[in-house]
């Protein structure tokens, strides 16, 4: 890597016995197996899980202020504020779930936690899933959320944060903004990007071989799903490869980007491809690697051993000053 690209050690839990126990429990729950099978089998399982995730979009929380923004007259984006007036800074926070699982109550609680830790407003898009809509519609919906945020905040004070497929979507959003600007628009970039465990559809033998080698260590995401994900995300439509193979997107003008990966997750296989794409674009990034850690650990602060990495992510946002 060039001097613009750093690989640093993120907090890990190799010496934490409770973390080891938690990983063993996750293995026994067979979460990974739910993503194995044909497209129809995987989507059917995901649909059943989504039906069980019934919760209020606006929580009953007297200590927090929530605003439900209607996007495109049919999708929701919930703004979480710890005060009744907006802060100067905001976070566009995009959830994961492989484009097929929706958010749950824990994600809403995480929005509140992030708002409290960073003293920023947190905008949380309920983007459409790829059961009936393609992933480019997801990107467009999230972009419309960002457009609305720009009415209230300067771009210098906006941070993009996402995990898993949500991490990939905020990276796709950079490609999308570049595409719009190339066509004559003048959309500003956000000030900071933090994708946690972002995936990508593999497009070459090197990526497939790296995924295969990591598969035996991963407790959550099977290597086979990343191939299947490409078909699911298209939803029968013709989607440009640069949005499916997110690691090969157009990252010109991207803000400083902090990637987080666990060394024991299949999606870590895409880190070299992201690094190469950022180098090609002349953009800056840092890779924070938690040794022995699992998928998306850096935002799972309730799991023993993961909180130090979560706190580090919050510090990155707090240390970023934005516009004075």
pLDDT tens digit sequence for 17-27? 999 999 999 99
Mean pLDDT of the chain: 94
Task: Return left, alpha or beta for 253; rule: phi > 0 is left, psi -120 to 50 is alpha, else beta.
Answer: left
User: Does residue 268 lie in a domain region?
Assistant: yes
What would the pLDDT profile of 141-186 be if each residue is shown by its tens digit?
A: 999 999 999 999 999 999 999 999 999 999 999 999 999 999 999 9
Measured distance CA(218)–CA(205) in Å, rounded: 20
Residue 322 has pLDDT above 90, yes or no: no
Neighbours of 9 (CB within 10 A): 10
Give the chain's domain count: 1
Residue with tokens 């999230």: 142
Q: What is the model's pTM?
A: 0.96
Of the pLDDT bands very low, low, confident and very high (cuts 50, 70, 90), residue 324 is very low
Distances, alpha carbon 119 to alpha carbons 160, 174, 190, 195, 197, in Å: 15, 25, 18, 20, 24
Res. 1: pLDDT tops 70: no
In a domain, 324, yes or no: no
**What digits encode the pLDDT tens for the residues 267-319?**
999 999 999 999 999 999 999 999 999 999 999 999 999 999 999 999 999 99
Q: Is residue 110 part of a domain?
A: yes
CA distance 198 to 267: 7
Kindly tell me if the per-residue pLDDT of 237 is higher than 80.
yes
- Band of pLDDT at residue 98, cut at 50, 70 and 90: very high
Q: Is residue 258 part of a domain?
A: yes
CATH code of the domain containing 294: 3.40.50.1820
Average pLDDT over residues 116-134: 95
Residue 235 forms part of a structural domain: yes
The predicted pLDDT at position 323 comes to 53
* Average pLDDT, integer, range 40-62: 89
DSSP per-residue letters across 141-178? HHHHHHHHHTTTS-GGGEEEEEETHHHHHHHHHHHHHH
- List the structure tokens of 269: 């296989």
Supply the range of the domain harboring residue 185: 5-319
């Amino acid at each position: 890597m060039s001097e613009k690209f750093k690989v640093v050690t993120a907090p890990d839990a190799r010496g934490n016995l409770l973390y080891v126990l938690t990983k063993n429990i996750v293995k026994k729950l067979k979460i990974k197996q739910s993503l194995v099978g044909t497209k129809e089998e995987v989507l059917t399982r995901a649909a059943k899980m989504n039906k069980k995730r019934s919760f209020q979009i606006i929580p009953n929380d007297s200590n927090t202020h929530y605003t439900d923004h209607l996007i495109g007259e049919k999708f929701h984006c919930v703004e979480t504020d710890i005060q009744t007036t907006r802060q100067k800074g905001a976070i566009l926070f995009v959830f994961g779930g492989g484009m097929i699982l929706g958010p749950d109550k824990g994600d809403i609680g995480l929005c509140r936690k992030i708002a409290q830790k960073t003293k920023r407003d947190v905008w949380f898009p309920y983007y459409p899933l790829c059961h009936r809509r393609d992933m480019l519609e997801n990107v467009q919906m999230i972009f419309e959320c960002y457009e609305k945020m720009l009415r209230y905040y300067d771009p210098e004070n906006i941070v993009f944060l996402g995990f898993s497929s949500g991490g990939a979507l905020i990276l796709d959003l950079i490609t999308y903004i570049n595409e719009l600007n190339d066509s004559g628009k003048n959309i500003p970039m956000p000030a900071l990007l933090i994708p946690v465990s972002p995936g990508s559809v593999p497009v070459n033998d090197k990526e497939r071989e790296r995924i295969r080698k990591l598969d035996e260590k991963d407790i959550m995401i099977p290597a086979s799903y990343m191939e299947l994900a490409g078909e699911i995300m298209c939803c029968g439509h013709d989607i440009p490869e640069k949005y499916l193979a997110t690691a090969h997107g157009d990252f010109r003008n991207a803000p400083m980007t902090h990637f987080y990966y666990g060394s024991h997750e299949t999606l870590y296989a895409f880190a070299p491809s992201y690094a190469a794409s950022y180098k090609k674009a002349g953009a800056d990034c840092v890779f924070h690697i938690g040794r022995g850690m699992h998928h998306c650990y850096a935002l799972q602060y309730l799991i023993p051993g993961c909180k130090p990495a979560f706190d580090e992510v919050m510090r990155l946002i707090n240390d970023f000053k934005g516009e004075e």
